[in-house]
A and B are shown apart, each in its own frame.
Chain A
Amino acid sequence: SQTIHQWPATLVQPVGSPLSLECTVEGTSNPNLYWYRQAAGRGLQLLFYSVGIGQISSEVPQNLSASRPQDRQFILSSKKLLLSDSGFYLCAWSRGTSNQPQHFGDGTRLSIL
């Protein structure tokens, strides 16, 4: 069976510090990978998605970047965090064919001070 791991579960960072959140998937190959953010009181917003190693698409302009150095690894980064980067970050995967559900990790609660 497939599993998705996200860490850390919670993170408190000062404004201007860098960020690296990691997500890995097990039990499948060549998945589509996704990063979402859920701000307080709002739905999930897609930030980045990837259909293969080194292939990253950004959905919204922002202070963040994503990378996929390996098939089942997806990293969300920032060089300098802003207060507005606070939120709940979720990684997800799906099979690389059409009409497939996405499966989510347990998320990272990021607080910027």
Chain B
Amino acid sequence: DQQVKQNSPSLSVQEGRISILNCDYTNSMFDYFLWYKKYPAEGPTFLISISSIKDKNEDGRFTVFLNKSAKHLSLHIVPSQPGDSAVYFCAASRLGSQGNLIFGKGTKLSVKP
């Protein structure tokens, strides 16, 4: 049973426009959510996180939104740049799990010049 789902395997966006990456989860005990960016043959790089007490967190061009009632979070990248092209993973953890992360399968973002 997949507890964290990224239903779009790929997304293509024009440079300068907004990229919206979506993630759904099923476990209501999750209380911390993260987004990672991954280039081929490299480890994931932490981008941004949000705890369940918030509904929005912003860091430069990256904003994460959390809708707890819908068990949905999204990552907005504005403006998108070609260097943002990578696979983006959503992850979640629950209180008391020693920080163990449950990852989605990823969405490949392509930003076209």
Contact = CB atoms under 8 A, between A and B. Distances in A.
A32 B34 CA distance: 17
Interface stretch (B11-19, B44-52, B57-65, B68-76): B44-52
Contact of A101 (B49, B100, B102, B103): B49
Interface residues of A, number: 27
Interface in B1-35: 4, 31-32, 34
Interface residues of B, number: 26
A44 B95 contact: no
Contact of A106 (B43, B46, B91, B98): B43
Given A42-B105, A49-B100, A99 B44 contact: no
Most chain A CB atoms below 10 A, which of B44, B104, B105: B44
Contacts of A107: 41-43
A94 interface: yes
Which of B31, B36, B101, B106 is most buried by chain A, counting CB atoms within 10 A of its CB?
A: B101
29 contacts: A41-B105, A43-B89, A43-B105, A43-B106, A44-B89, A44-B103, A45-B103, A46-B102, A49-B99, A49-B100, A57-B98, A59-B100, A90-B44, A92-B43, A98-B32, A99-B31, A101-B34, A101-B46, A102-B34, A102-B46, A102-B99, A103-B46, A104-B36, A104-B44, A104-B45, A107-B41, A107-B42, A107-B43, A109-B41
